[in-house]
A and B are shown apart, each in its own frame.
Chain A
Amino acid sequence: GAVVSQHPSWVICKSGTSVKIECRSLDFQATTMFWYRQFPKQSLMLMATSNEGSKATYEQGVEKDKFLINHASLTLSTLTVTSAHPEDSSFYICSAQLAGGSYNEQFFGPGTRLTVL
């Protein structure tokens, strides 16, 4: 149980285009999902907290107009990288938290590797 998927797993795009990444909790409901960015051999840096039915909360230094987050249902959150540039190339990972209770574990998706040419 507690499986999180991401789509696509790998995307290459031209500079200036927008890319949408989906994060789905497959067998559980997640009121909260999180988006991370991971550079090679570096840590996971929290970008934003995505709450179902409300606006996302962005970490300091993360441009909300650049990284659009939508959490339209209890099983789906999307991250759209708008007007992507080469410096946006990175590994984007989402995680989902079980809805309800005090259980705190986050279940991670497999990640999406974005390459902007």
Chain B
Amino acid sequence: GENVEQHPSTLSVQEGDSAVIKCTYSDSASNYFPWYKQELGKRPQLIIDIRSNVGEKKDQRIAVTLNKTAKHFSLHITETQPEDSAVYFCAASMMLMGNQFYFGTGTSLTVIP
């Protein structure tokens, strides 16, 4: 099955700085890569996703890049704010082939005011 690795496990940045979280996946058939944000005690919320037919997607301060050849994708958060502090999970999925999500191990991001 799919194996998703995520780094780093913890990340602290100063407010206003950028944060980058990286994930790798093992199954080249995966073609959908969502990123979820989970605050303590709350449900995961989708923040951005990317499909394998594009290399980059941006939504305001958040961007995701995908390198299909290397099988890795990254989340970029610019101008970080304290409310960005949370655990972020990447996932890999095969659209239209069961659509199961296989999550990375998570990154605990702390934005220091």
Residues in chain A within 8 A of chain B (CB atoms): 4, 32, 34, 36, 41-46, 49, 57, 59-60, 93, 95, 97, 102, 104-106, 108-111
Q: Can you give 12 contacting A-B residue pairs, CB < 8 Å?
A: A46-B100, A49-B100, A93-B43, A93-B44, A102-B95, A104-B34, A104-B93, A104-B95, A105-B34, A105-B49, A106-B34, A106-B101
Question: B98 at the A/B interface (Cβ < 8 Å)?
Answer: yes
Bound Cα distance A93, B43 (Å): 8
Report the interface size for chain B: residues with CB under 8 A from the other chain: 24
Chain A contact residues: over half helix, strand or loop, or mixed? strand
Which label, helix, strand, loop or mixed, suits the secondary structure of the B interface? Answer: loop
B residues bordering A, Cβ < 8 Å?
1, 32, 34, 36, 42-46, 49, 89, 93, 95-96, 98-106, 108
List of B residues within 8 angstroms of A110 by Cβ: 42-43
Complex: how many Å from CA A95 to CA B106? 18
Tell me the bound Cα distance from A68 to B60 in angstroms: 42
A-B contacts besides A93-B43, A105-B49, 5 pairs, CB < 8 Å: A32-B99, A42-B106, A59-B1, A104-B95, A110-B43
Question: CA–CA, A46 to B102, complex, Å?
Answer: 7
Instruction: Find the A residue at minimum CB distance from B1.
Output: A60
Instruction: Please pick, from B49, B89, B98, B106, the residue contacting A49 in the complex, using a CB distance under 8 A.
Output: B98
CB pair A108 B44 closer than 8 Å: yes
Q: Are B44 and A43 in contact (CB under 8 A)?
A: no
**Which of A34, A49, A111 makes the CB contact (< 8 A) with B43?**
A111
CA distance in complex: A81, B89 (Å): 26
A104 engages B43 (CB within 8 Å): no
Chain B residues near A102 (CB-CB < 8 A): 95-96
Q: How far is the CB of A95 from chain B (nearest CB, A)?
A: 8
A1 to chain B, nearest CB (A): 13
